Amino acid sequence: MDTSLETLETHRCFGGLQGTFRHASAACGGPMEFAVYVPPGAGEHDRRPVLWFLSGLTCTPENFTIKAGAQRVAAELGLILVMPDTSPRGAGVPGEDDAWDLGTGAGFYVDATAPPWSARYQMFSYVTAELPALVHARFPTRGAGHEAISGHSMGGHGALVAALRHPERYRSASAIAPIVAPSQVPWGRKAFTAYLGPDERRWAAYDATALVAHQTHPAPILVDQGGADPFIAEQLQPERFEAACAASGQALSLRVHPGYDHSFFFVATVIADHLRHHAAHLGLAVSAPG
């Protein structure tokens, strides 16, 4: 595996180091960027667990890194944060820049099987296999299995799917305003038709509500949802996942927050709870919020 990295920028942040990096991705067939926060004290002799955070439609690694305010709590807990990109960029796939909800910035964390997307849009393999191998090789992590995963919106969908399909890798999962049943809502149906083809039987592997019916996660899943989110009724439909979890016995904490929307203001409001949730499952000491 090629573990070479190009450092694009680094910044001291709450005693740790926030960086953005670029590497050549075999899965996605070209350059990919990602961001990493390494908390203070982490190093070769003090390795730390990882929280992966997957962002939503139109986002780059910069959105969560700058807007969520997660580094302060990650520094207190001793968590490494990794923020992948949401799709290949400049891949040259016809139509990839024609719409904001398909193509660039909208990879939906699937391994595309339908042309022309299948040549480059292999985001599930990228975020669950290729990028983790690179991060564990180049940063002071505790290695595979000492990981948790979270995400927002499209990224919440990706996080839930990754955790349900790989419970041995991710010790815990959470999501903020996730697309929980993409096979049943317009955003997901558009993306899945393009990336996976019209056979809806193939879609279930990337649908958290379908997956949890037969594959649960050993840890309770935390989901936060804004009650005033304009996408809740048409695109998010958290009640579908709640019902599926209840039927399968999956422990779920679904918290609906009146008045909150879909923006990063909501993400910033609840992110500390998510980091503490994951830190506890990763074996870190967690104190009550100050």
288 within some domain: no
1 within some domain: no
Q: pLDDT (tens digit, 9 = 90+) per residue, 191-218?
A: 999 999 999 999 999 999 999 999 999 9
What pLDDT score was predicted for residue 290? 47
Overall number of domains in the chain:
1
Q: pLDDT (tens digit, 9 = 90+) per residue, 142-165?
A: 999 999 999 999 999 999 999 999
pTM reported for the whole predicted model: 0.97
How far apart are alpha carbons 290 and 288 in whole angstroms?
A: 6
What pLDDT score was predicted for residue 2? 65
Q: Is 31 helix (H, G, I), strand (E, B) or coil?
A: strand
Structural domain containing residue 148: 6-281
Q: Residue 11 forms beta bridges with which residues?
A: 18
What DSSP letter does each residue of 131-143 carry, written as one string? HHHHHHHHS-B--
What pLDDT score was predicted for residue 45? 93
* Residue 238, domain CATH: 3.40.50.1820
* Nearest residue to 103 via CA among 156, 57, 35: 57
Catalytic residue among 146, 262, 274, 277: 262
12 within some domain: yes
Q: In the chain, which stretches have pLDDT less than 70?
A: 1-2, 288-290
229 a catalytic residue: yes
How far apart are alpha carbons 173 and 160 in whole angstroms?
A: 6
229 within some domain: yes
261 within some domain: yes
125 a catalytic residue: no
Q: Is 184 helix (H, G, I), strand (E, B) or coil?
A: helix
What pLDDT score was predicted for residue 3? 72
42 within some domain: yes
287 within some domain: no
What pLDDT score was predicted for residue 70? 98
What pLDDT score was predicted for residue 143? 96
- E strand intervals along the chain: 6-13, 16-25, 30-38, 50-54, 80-84, 147-151, 170-176, 221-226, 252-257
230 within some domain: yes
Catalytic residue among 153, 172, 174, 183: 153
Catalytic residue among 229, 274, 278, 281: 229
172 a catalytic residue: no
